[in-house]
Chains A and B, each alone.
Chain A
Amino acid sequence: MADTATTSPVVQSHAKNETEKDLFILHQLVTKDFKLKYRRSVLGVAWSVLNPLLMMIVMAVVFSTMFAAARGGDIPNYPLYLILGNITFSFMSESTTAAMHSIIDAAPLLKKVKVHRFVFPVQKALFALVNFAFSLVAVALVMLWFRIVPTWHIIWLPVCLVLLVMFCMGLGLLLSALSVFFRDVMHLWSVVITAWTYFTPIFWSINFIDQMHPALQVLMRANPMYNYLAFMRDIFLYQTSPSLQTLLACAVWAVIALALGYAVFHKNEHKFILFI
């Protein structure tokens, strides 16, 4: 299965190496998810732009009227603040939730064909990235609406995305491996995501943290999503380079998540087939 170069016929039928094969599989799987997501919807891919916009409008209305106090202070350009927080957080929540199910969903396949198992959770992070690209169109529209001219600081965006993708991939690998052995993880994770949503300053001001207990403050600022959100808002909303602290925290979390996720996944992947 591995090295077929020596025996392959004249026409190159099979991928030259495992990497080429994996890349083609990843490409096909992302395309598949993309097609399935918008199949039979009239607006199709426009939903990827519309969805974050509509969410932003709903939340902006709710937290400017009914729950205005929950914001914990005045936030300039609140809609932009909201949409940046929302899309970054849903990148994480969507990709990890999808990755968590990916191995179990691929069970019929994994039982029959030899494929690198990591492609399934990894693919979900890449698919989330495609969606994120569309969400950025929504961000551009909001910035246009509020006449905010982007500055050169957005060249930091690739750095932020690489780190965020690493973090989500790692988490996805970890969750997909755990859920194979304990299906409970699936039920638990939705609760964790909900809790995480509230503990991350998506709709409330980060100044709110200053009023908290010191120990809690440390915890809140160590929160990986706090840092990824801060990164995004720095470059789009506050138009500065991210602080060294933010950058470091993002990088450290990305490395930790990926290393842990990969280690757990790799150590257990050969046992998956016995449990799926």
Chain B
Amino acid sequence: MTAVASSAADMTSAASTMADSLSEDTTNDLAIEVKDVTMIFNMASEQLNSLKEYFIKLVRHELFFTEFRALKHISFNVRRGEVVGLVGTNGSGKSTMLKIIAGVLEASEGECIVRGNIAPLIELGAGFDLELTARENIYLNGALLGYTKAFIDEHFQEIIDFAELPDFVDMPMKNFSSGMVARIAFAIATITEPDILIVDETLSVGDVFFQEKCEKRIQHFIQSGNVTVLFVSHSIEQVERICQRAIWIEKGDLRMDGPVKEVCEAYRAQFA
């Protein structure tokens, strides 16, 4: 699914997208390549969740699906170290795009090539089992993110310190508040410099102080220049503040792709 294939076509498309002239190896410089991605959902007229219903419909030839195109021929490239904001109104396909990039959803057509490991901050703490203690969850979540055991051992204290929850390490996480869960999740996902960081509205969790701390850490990643950041937020101001470039997806179409100022202005203009 994430096979890395370099071809002449990639080179040209990469060169045309960005005006950066230093291109020793243009293909390798791309962290994310989205090539003509179309996502089609078959929306059954009603949800069929039982065998009986399914066979009845099958026999009666009533298995009709209405096609819904969540994404239509989307193509863009993101270079390593770029900070890209995705904007668009609700239901326009931003989350679908992110899921395809994160590798949990397969595109119906086209392909998406991702180079490097992804730290998904989409809804923090998805891999937690709240019956387990924070310590156990850190190992479980770390494993799911692809960390090695030795690495977690080494950085365990660091994770706890960042989350500022040293007194609750051996407490079952069901007793945690949602803010505390988010702290732990953020700390694990960002303990190492990921190649690609996907931030989806996650900065709105936790208290103000922790939000600032999270944003500082993301800024730190951005400044390092090695981390590619995909940022999704409904706060257009936040996108403008953090990102360099923005991609506007509207009703499944790629409406605009360019410098953050221009895109955000155009995005705002539609409401005016």
Contact = CB atoms under 8 A, between A and B. Distances in A.
Interface string B136-164: 10011001111111110010000000000
A11 interface: yes
Interface of B: 1-4, 41, 49-52, 54, 99, 102-106, 114-118, 120, 122-123, 126-127, 129, 131-132, 136, 139-140, 143-151, 154, 192-193, 195
Given A4-B117, A32-B132, 8 more contacts: A9-B192, A9-B193, A13-B147, A108-B126, A113-B144, A115-B144, A184-B50, A185-B51
B106 A270 contact: yes
A14 B146 contact: yes
Contacts of B150: 12
Contacts of B115: 7
Contacts of A112: 102, 104, 120, 122-123, 126-127
Contacts of B147: 13-15
A3 interface: yes
Interface string A8-23: 1101111100001100
21 contacts: A8-B117, A14-B147, A14-B151, A14-B192, A15-B147, A20-B148, A21-B146, A24-B143, A35-B136, A39-B131, A108-B126, A108-B127, A112-B104, A112-B120, A112-B127, A113-B104, A113-B144, A113-B145, A114-B103, A183-B49, A274-B41
Nearest to A33: B129
Contacts of A39: 131
A24 B149 contact: yes
Nearest to B3: A2
A157 B114 CA distance: 45
A37 to B, nearest CB: 11
Q: Which of A28, A111, A114 has the most CB of B within 10 A?
A: A114
Given A24-B148, A184-B50, A1 B192 contact: no
Listed from nearest, the 4 A-B pairs whose CB atoms lie closest are A114-B103, A112-B126, A28-B143, A13-B192
B114 A273 contact: no
A114 B120 CA distance: 9
A28 B131 contact: no
B171 to A, nearest CB: 13
A24 B255 CA distance: 42
A36 interface: yes
A220 interface: no
B149 A1 contact: no
Contact of A1 (B52, B117, B136, B148): B117
A27 B147 CA distance: 13
A29 interface: yes
Contacts of A114: 102-104, 118
A14 B104 CA distance: 19
A115 B120 CA distance: 12
A28 B146 CA distance: 12
Contact of B103 (A1, A8, A182): A1
Given A7-B115, A274-B41, A21 B192 contact: no
A31 B115 CA distance: 31
A184 B52 contact: yes
Contacts of B129: 32, 36
Given A1-B117, A13-B192, A21-B146, A113 B102 contact: yes
Nearest to A270: B106
A14 B117 contact: yes
Contacts of A113: 102, 104, 120, 126-127, 144-145
A13 B131 CA distance: 27
B79 to A, nearest CB: 14
A110 B104 contact: yes
B136 to A, nearest CB: 7
Nearest to A115: B144
Interface in A63-108: 108
Contacts of B52: 184
B34 to A, nearest CB: 15
Given A24-B143, A111-B104, A2 B126 contact: no
B103 A15 contact: no
A270 B129 CA distance: 24
Contact of B151 (A4, A11, A108, A115): A11
B2 A1 contact: yes
A109 interface: yes
A11 B152 CA distance: 11
B143 A184 contact: no
A101 to B, nearest CB: 14
Contacts of A9: 192-193
Contacts of B41: 274
Given A14-B148, A270-B106, A1 B123 contact: no
A25 interface: yes
Contact of B140 (A14, A28, A110, A273): A28
Given A1-B118, A13-B151, A36-B132, A109 B126 contact: yes
A109 B130 CA distance: 13
